[in-house]
Structure 1
């Protein structure tokens, strides 16, 4: 966290100097706002990040030709923030605008085109459109295999994301294989406490959980949490995801008090880090509801399932499986009351 604060201080000081020395729509001012937005995004302060990126985009629209690659960078950065805020349709629109510009401005196997395909794939995962997501990730991987060395972290990212799609589609052995390939690269390419290593351990844990191997899942989730606690700010959304996943495994192992504690810690972080109707809130509420269901506290379970349903119906496409899942949970718990 200290490194982010220091970086933010330097970027803000640079911006002050540029405001004095340069014209108000100079491209270097846009660059400063973009850097500040990047730091806020890494800190999980998404509304501040969005404000900085939008200021950068305003300047670039005035200062640059309409298909300049820096405009694509701005749209891409805005898409990242919207995705982190759970506003997936806005994220998709921004990413697609970025891709349109990059297709015109860049050669066909350029690194940034791969990034665009990857980011669009991530939004499709969030929206539950898994076949579209896989197509995007595979296109991204094709480009990165041509453009990058074999152990580059971005290749690891592609394998990781393809694993996520297989996981969502119920093909858990394929998911595990992709996740392990990603981890192999990250162990070579990254320092030992890098957040992307934590993400690999988390995803391998998810695959083992889905395969019913709960003790293995817990081991990988704990590796993820150990790194994340060192690498991330204390209220970062990724920490909330880690606690949520640990809660799921404890619930599956029948350790309900531990499960409830983990889910509640996840919810506490999300209340600080995320906007109030972010879909990830519903993951916490649904998880807590499932624990109360197992503890036979059905009225509490129903209350949390209803909270999850309301958020998911507001924030996700109506066909998303999360919505049918929570409705099923509501029906099941009502039958027990």
Structure 2
């Protein structure tokens, strides 16, 4: 879990107050009450800074709590600072191979994924995996967390077989140790659905997501922010099967839950908004689609690095909306920006790069630039 109990030996009033704050934080974090959790985590940090020695396990725990809260709220630079401080302190106070060092490494890995730092994420997850395999054994629930996270990273990088193997292993452990109805089981089901979606096995992905949604709703309630990712993915999978009318309910529900949990201007809303915007595009509601997708892009650009792959996806979506309206010059501009990001982040031989080159070929042909269109098509074919 993200928040772990501290280790101060003193029984002072300050120590008792810190323990109470830590327990309160765990409850708030689990409920997804991020604003409350942030206040509690900051109070925990302030209090633990008064303990001696100045670098202590309780302060590291509160910094870890603060970091995962900032990450959940989309405040990535603040999250990174807190988690890297927590990691350094835990390594110094507890030792390099302590279980709580692995916890912070795992949290950092998840943050690095969000920040489009895949190499840093992989390093953090693998180090956490080594610590947990050595210290906990091959079938521990905390080990399953790291397997899940590393599997999700490989999924994002298109390494489907490697990701699938790790996620299947995580699912077996979580079902055995936590029970089939635990929300952590649902998280792994979400990722396995992502594998099936990437393989174009949309009906299987839908089945996994619907199972995940039932688990989350029962365990966490119908308004918990963890539902947003499942609902968003479900809407995408339904759209991929041309079940457009069915996709609107989960897409709108994901946005509504996200806005209630995170506020109107949080980057965590970008993916639900993207699903809803793409749905509007599929329905021919181009003005609504453009407004929603522009909002998603704005949220990403104000928070994420300029070369983040999610920004490329949003640019491609907006290009599609402009193309559908015959606004080919604007579509070309968006596609070119998306292509530059994907070539830098994925390499020039990735399937997503090929698709963007093909799209640019189509747009250039519409604009009458036949030589450029031919070049784009040839580049796309050389990749495929």
Scaled to the shorter chain, the TM-score interval is: over 0.9
Matches of 2:162 and 2:334, distance apart in 1 = 32
Q: Give how far 1:79 is off.
A: 0.6
Q: Give how far 1:50 is off.
A: 0.6
Matches of 2:34 and 2:234, distance apart in 1 = 28
- Which residue does the alignment assign to 1:135? 165
Q: Give how far 1:318 is off.
A: 4.2
Q: Structure 1's 87 and 317: CA in aligned 2 closer, same or farther, altered over 3 A?
A: farther
Q: Deviations over 1:48-85 (max 9, x none)?
A: 11111111111122112321111111211111111011
Aligned-residue RMSD, C-alpha: 1.7
- Which residue does the alignment assign to 1:98? 128
Q: Is the 8 A contact 2:196 2:202 kept in 1?
A: yes
Partner of residue 215 from structure 2, selected from 173, 185, 192: 185
Matches within 5 A, 1:252-263: 252-263=282-293
Q: Deviations over 1:75-119 (max 9, x none)?
A: 111111110111112111111111011111113211111000100
Matches of 1:224 and 1:19, distance apart in 2 = 39
Partner of residue 295 from structure 2, selected from 265, 270, 273: 265
Q: Give how far 1:319 is off.
A: 4.1
Partner of residue 114 from structure 1, selected from 144, 152, 167: 144
- Which residue does the alignment assign to 1:163? 193
**Which aligned runs of 4 or more in structure 1 are off by greater than 4 angstroms?**
none
> After the TM superposition, which of the residue ranges 321-330 and 118-127 deviates more from structure 2?
321-330
Matches of 2:184 and 2:294, distance apart in 1 = 33
Q: Is the 8 A contact 1:43 1:233 kept in 2?
A: no
Matches of 1:27 and 1:253, distance apart in 2 = 54
Matches of 2:158 and 2:337, distance apart in 1 = 20
Structure 2: runs of 5+ lacking an equivalent: 1-27, 368-384
TM-score, with structure 2 as normaliser? 0.84
- Do structure 1's residue 152 and structure 2's residue 182 form an aligned pair? yes
Q: Is the 8 A contact 2:74 2:268 kept in 1?
A: no
Matches of 2:280 and 2:40, distance apart in 1 = 43
Matches within 5 A, 1:44-123: 44-123=74-153
TM-score, with structure 1 as normaliser? 0.95
